[in-house]
Structure 1
Amino acid sequence: MADTHNQPGSDEWDNLLHHLRQVRQQVQEQGPLPEQAKAEATDAFRRGLALLETQVQDIRGHLKGSSGKW
C-alpha cells in the first residue's frame, strides 16, 4: 500500500481518520451520538469517500495497459 504521507491530500486523510477515530471512541465510551455529532461524523465519512474516489480517478488516469488504455 502506498505511503499517503508523501502524497497530496495526506493531511486531509490524517484529519478525517483522526476525527472518525475520535467519534468511534466517543461512541464506545458514551453510547450513541447526539444529532449534531452524527451529522459531523456522516460529513467526515462522505468527505473521506469523495477523497478516495478522487484519488482512484487520479490513479486510473496514470495507469496504462499494454494497449495504452486503462
Structure 2
Amino acid sequence: MAKTNPFTFLQQVRSETAKVTWPTRRETIISTIMVFVMVAFAAAFFFVADQVLGYVVGLIMNAGV
C-alpha cells in the first residue's frame, strides 16, 4: 500500500471536492419536500393496509366461534 504524505492527501481531497456539483438551495428544498410527501403517502398506505388486514384477520378468527 502506497504511503502519501498528509499535505499531498489534502491537496487531492481538495481537488476532488472541487469536482462535486452541489445542489442549489431550491433543489435541496424541493427534494426535501418530495421526501416528506412520499413518507406521508407511505405512512397512509401502510396504515390503511394494516387496518384492512387487521379487520380481515379479525373476521377469520371470529368465524370459528
TM norm structure 2: 0.52
> What is the aligned partner in structure 2 of residue 45 from structure 1?
35
Query: Which amino acid counterpart does residue 50 of structure 1 have in structure 2?
Result: A
Deviation at 1:31, TM superposition (A): 1.6
Separation (CA, whole Å) in 2 of partners of 1:46 and 1:31: 24
Separation (CA, whole Å) in 2 of partners of 1:51 and 1:45: 10
Rg larger for: 2
Pair 1:36 & 2:36 matched: no
- State the identity %: 10
Moved runs in structure 1, 4+ residues, more than 3 A?
none
> What is the aligned partner in structure 2 of residue 14 from structure 1?
none
Q: How well do the aligned residues superpose, as a CA RMSD in angstroms?
A: 2.1
Runs of at least 5 residues in structure 1 that lack an aligned partner in the other structure = 1-29
Runs of at least 5 residues in structure 2 that lack an aligned partner in the other structure = 1-19, 60-65
Higher relative contact order (CA 8 A, sep 6+): 1
> What is the aligned partner in structure 2 of residue 59 from structure 1?
49
Q: Could you give the per-residue CA deviations for residues 37-69 of structure 1, whole angstroms, max 9, x where no partner exists?
A: 100000001100000000000101101275x28
Tell me the secondary structure at the aligned position of residue 63 of structure 1.
Answer: helix
Query: How many residues end up aligned between the 2 structures?
Result: 39
